[in-house]
Amino acid sequence: MSNEPPIRALIAPVTPLAQNCTIVWCAKTRKAAIIDPGGETPRLLEALKAHDLTLEKIWITHGHLDHAGGTAALKAITGCPIEGPHPDDAFWIDDMEVAGAKWGMPEARTFTPDRWLADGDKVTLGETEFEVYHCPGHTPGHVIFFHREARFAQVGDVLFKGSIGRTDFPRGDHQQLINSITGRLWPLGDDVAFVPGHGPMSTFGAERRTNPFVADEILADA
């Protein structure tokens, strides 16, 4: 019996903000999803080709430009359905072109997801399934994607190695973000490895021990 994990992942930083776009795929079928295609669409398509993958889904954690600016272009080329984020981020997506012009990414376009996501939803990829958790705070409609068997999550800008998401944007909420991390992420297990929206991977356990914002010891003293 094969010990190959059910999914595999490739991190491809894109845009001037070095956002971690993640390509995940079902190991058995090689059907792939691109999570947070912020831009550089041709490079993402080349990565799919290089790994002999077939794009099946486009998943969005939240509506910020660096995470979703290339979504419309990717769908126009591939026709793949867009799933996510939660509808509370619609105002960010509606403002995409204005933000793109402001931040030097004029190719960014607004879009309408084929499926808005809510807490408790499931999304499928090939023969695998990911769980969806609504984790507001950085943005009100932020979601994360979790594969239980693989102990793997893509958490966007909720949590980072050694840090947490900003909450000074419109409708950001610091306490709500802390509640999302401690109430939605930590119960998934210390052994879960996660890809953040920027920077290196970590595990929930490592962040519970050492993260200066949300370590268990820090929050216990708050």
pLDDT digits (tens, 9 = 90+) for 75-101: 999 999 999 999 999 999 999 999 888
One-character DSSP codes across the chain = -----SEEEEEEEETTTTEEEEEEEETTT-EEEEE---S-HHHHHHHHHHTT-EEEEEE-S---HHHHTTHHHHHHHH-PPEE---GGGHHHHHTHHHHHHHTT-TT------SB---TT-EEEETTEEEEEEE--SSSTT-EEEEETTTTEEEEETSEETTEE----STT--HHHHHHHIIIIIGGG-TT-EEEESSS--EEHHHHHHH-TTT-HHHHHH-
Q: Domain for residue 2, yes or no?
A: no
Task: Give the range of the structural domain holding residue 20, as residue numbers without chain letter.
Answer: 7-221
Q: Domain for residue 41, yes or no?
A: yes
Task: Categorize the per-residue pLDDT at 2 as very low, low, confident or very high, splitting at 50, 70 and 90.
Answer: low
| Whole-model pTM over 0.85 | yes
Task: Categorize the per-residue pLDDT at 1 as very low, low, confident or very high, splitting at 50, 70 and 90.
Answer: very low
Q: Domain for residue 123, yes or no?
A: yes
Region class of 56: left (phi > 0), else alpha (psi between -120 and 50), else beta: alpha
CATH of the domain at 93: 3.60.15.10
Higher pLDDT, 38 or 131: 131
Q: Domain for residue 201, yes or no?
A: yes
Q: Domain for residue 136, yes or no?
A: yes
Higher pLDDT, 222 or 90: 90
pLDDT digits (tens, 9 = 90+) for 47-77: 999 999 999 999 999 999 999 999 999 999 9
φ and ψ at residue 180, rounded to 5 degrees: -65, -45
Q: Domain for residue 199, yes or no?
A: yes
- 5 to each of 107, 128, 154, 171, 183, how far by Cα in Å? 36, 11, 16, 38, 27
Q: How many domains does the chain have?
A: 1
Task: Categorize the per-residue pLDDT at 46 as very low, low, confident or very high, splitting at 50, 70 and 90.
Answer: very high
Structure tokens at 154: 């893509």
Q: Domain for residue 162, yes or no?
A: yes
Q: Domain for residue 166, yes or no?
A: yes
